[in-house]
Amino acid sequence: MTANPVLELRNAGKVYGAGATLVTALHGASLSIAPGELVAVRGASGSGKSTLLHLAGGLDAPSTGDVLVEGRSLSGLSRKELARLRRRSVGYVFQDLNLVPSLTAAENIALPRELDGARAAEARTEALAALEEIGLREVADRFPDEMSGGQQQRVAIARALVGPRRLVLADEPTGALDSETGEGVLRMLRARCNAGAACLLVTHEPRHSAWADRVVFISDGAIVDETTASAPVAVDLGALT
Ligand SMILES: Nc1ncnc2c1ncn2[C@@H]1O[C@H](COP(=O)(O)OP(=O)(O)OP(=O)(O)O)[C@@H](O)[C@H]1O
Ligand SMILES: [Mg+2]
């Protein structure tokens, strides 16, 4: 028996603007991610990767089709219910990070937990543990503008992973990181999936796809190909010599 998917996109499409400025960012995309699965999304700039993630996380409503998280259609939820589901079930690493500038690293990480009703002391303890895990305990009390780009990126990742999130959506979470630190982030996402979460990861790095169970390719707003990890992978002969 296969487990119910954590995320399901059913023919989800997205159109921005209207008339002469109309852009079809995503054509009916269908995708299903089971607990424990890490799915990588690749495609050229402007192909619709972030749009796909926005729809998956309920940050934006699809123009057509439907998005289900843990079996619930997002279109049937009130704004309040949707906000609650996003806080509780969805961890999101934004392409532009979105850290709150007036909060320290630890406060940024604790914020979603506190909004969800956790006690402040408990949320702080969790935040410090998350910082420890990513090797950034020392920046706990620094504000975003007192951290490097890579440190901010890891704080954004920690924020997406605290608490019992079952769906983790990460939009280029390693862009500002050196390759070793980037691999560390991938290892964390993989561990979270192995513990039962579903992850959708946008990445430009072909070697990051090795951590994924499947790779989905997007071109001009359409899913054009899907490969599984067991499928033959093109070998870069140059890397072997
Ligand atoms: N808010 C918006 N209003 C109008 N058009 C938009 C909006 N957001 C995205 N688009 C357009 O939709 C298309 C897909 O954009 P999207 O951000 O999903 O691409 P992407 O694959 O994430 O690109 P990148 O790799 O550069 O981050 C692009 O043509 C983009 O210009
Ligand atoms: Mg993008």
CB-ligand 1 contact for 51 (6 Å cutoff): yes
Pocket test for ligand 1, best of 22, 23, 219 (most atoms within 8 A of CB): 23
Nearest listed ligand to the Cα of residue 93: 2
The boundaries of the domain holding residue 56 are: 7-99+166-239
- Residues whose Cβ atom is located within 5 A of ion ligand 2: 49-50, 95
The residue to which tokens 């487990």 are assigned:
3
In a domain, 189, yes or no: yes
In a domain, 54, yes or no: yes
Q: How confident is the model at residue 235 (pLDDT cuts 50, 70, 90)?
A: very low
Atom 10 of ligand 1, residue of closest alpha carbon: 25
Residue 89 sits at the vertex; the CA angle it makes with 45 and 134, to the nearest 5 degrees, is 70
Residues with Cβ within 8 Å of 190's Cβ and at least 6 positions away in sequence, in order, are 38, 211
Say which range, 29-33, 167-171, 203-207, has the weakest mean pLDDT.
203-207
State pLDDT tens for residues 54-108: 999 999 999 999 999 999 999 999 999 999 999 889 999 988 888 999 999 999 9
Q: In what order do the strands lie in the sheet with 23-33?
A: 23-33, 7-16, 64-69, 72-73
Q: What's 39's domain CATH number?
A: 3.40.50.300
- 105-115 vs 149-161: helix axis angle to the nearest 10? 20
Q: Is 29 in contact with 7 (CB distance < 8 Å)?
A: no
State pLDDT tens for residues 103-119: 999 999 999 999 889 99
In a domain, 108, yes or no: no
Residue 106 sits at the vertex; the CA angle it makes with 102 and 111, to the nearest 5 degrees, is 70
CB-ligand 1 contact for 43 (6 Å cutoff): yes
In a domain, 76, yes or no: yes
Question: For position 47, what pLDDT does the model report?
Answer: 96
Residue 162 has pLDDT above 50, yes or no: yes
CA distances from 210 to 8, 16, 177, 197, 218 (A): 23, 33, 18, 18, 18
Question: For position 229, what pLDDT does the model report?
Answer: 64
In a domain, 78, yes or no: yes
Token pair for 132: 């420890």
In a domain, 1, yes or no: no
CB-ligand 1 contact for 219 (6 Å cutoff): no
CB-ligand 1 contact for 48 (6 Å cutoff): yes
Q: Report the separation in Å between the CA atom of 233 and the middle of ligand 2, taken as the mean of its atom positions.
A: 25
Mean pLDDT of the 14-23 span: 93
Q: Is 34 in contact with 209 (CB distance < 8 Å)?
A: no
Question: For position 230, what pLDDT does the model report?
Answer: 53
Q: Which SS3 state, helix, strand or coil, does residue 13 take?
A: strand
CB-ligand 1 contact for 7 (6 Å cutoff): no
Max CA separation in the chain (angstroms): 57
In a domain, 75, yes or no: yes
Distance of alpha carbon 66 from alpha carbon 55, whole angstroms: 9
What's this model's pTM, rounded to 2 decimal places?
A: 0.90
- The domain total for the chain is 1
In a domain, 118, yes or no: no
Mean pLDDT of the 131-150 span: 93
Q: Report the separation in Å between the CA atom of 202 and the middle of ligand 1, taken as the mean of its atom positions.
A: 13
Residue 185 has pLDDT above 90, yes or no: no
**Burial track 25-40 (b if 16+ CB lie within 10 A, e otherwise):** bbbbbebbbbbbbbbb
